[in-house]
Structure 1
């Protein structure tokens, strides 16, 4: 994990995952709900766009400089700032800073939110599913459904032999073995501690379940995210290390993982 000057550009080609927000179901003080910047193959892609994410994005890239947005699912903690991003893009197109609509790759259900993703000449929706692989330069993105109350897609991202598996929101019945084993980086939600498992809503992992899943698929590195802001990082880390023997990271705003 790296932290440093957000404006500093890597001198070597790499696949980089930067945390812009990681809390759920709401942001703690000064925090943000899930959102990440994926950089690789000359592309800059925003993955999910929760509450507070847009203000963090500007530390690394301006909205008009994005090449795409990927939304794993249409729940508010992963979506809230996307509608503000639409306004930003519309403004910058009017000012001539951007010429083309920004593509957003996302599910179309629930329909109430899906039909609002395209926006004038600023954003164009590209529906996602399990039937194909998308390319951004040399990066390839394949999707598969997770266990969640609405259509939600994990993303298996590959680039020059390196792999990132972004789990989005996922319950314990999610079949992680559908992706290739031993990802270099597995980003998995650990919304609840195991002691609170009986109080969770459906379609979410506990920290224990996330750690067990990472161990089971042989993830080289686990980045725990989607964390309830009421927990201490110490207790999250202690539970995860009981069940996962690899390189463990806890998400925080500004942390960057670079795969070379």
Structure 2
């Protein structure tokens, strides 16, 4: 790995500046010779919608206001030999969105620090928001009876399923019936906080490479949970099934407990 330079740019314009800089460098032979890659370190997140579908990906910069140039040459331990040629600096400063005017030695990132940046978690994320409080509402007795009957009937279909496909379809109907009954009873989902689940773990489990990637914050009586999109399959909630929020949170909680006890 070679030297790396930080370039200050307009916050929120990191991707645009990167595209413009890549185009400018493609026209400059010296830039193509010395610059290995331009990094923005962005992460894409999709929110779980009420329909159970995932919304459009939204990208965010993990280091807003900066892009990073990875050079093709190595430097000494103090990075004192790192520099960028005058013509390349001229190109950089001419790109719209670049804010800071650097000297030829720029803002140098040490090899160790840049290695840590390259190790950032850039995998696509899923974000699920669920309410934490219970709101009681008035209900129609007949409507509740019908909802309860649907839960019992769907559970019977799960137990009577003869093939994995039949069971999967029956479980989906059962989950929807349980969700419908819960909404009638409480107005919205009653859930246990993932935050409290994570806080109860000892330090050994918190450092688990899988558990450590599950992030949770509490905001306005809602819990917002973010985790890698690839984890949906691991917790038994395929994306094509259009999982409802309470199902995702319940399966995620079960997954955490399984990791801790295994």
Task: Choose between structure 1 and 2 for higher RCO, CA contacts under 8 A separated by at least 6 residues.
Answer: 2
- Normalising by structure 1, we get a TM-score of 0.21
Structure with higher helix content: 2
Structure with higher strand content: 1
- Normalising by structure 2, we get a TM-score of 0.21
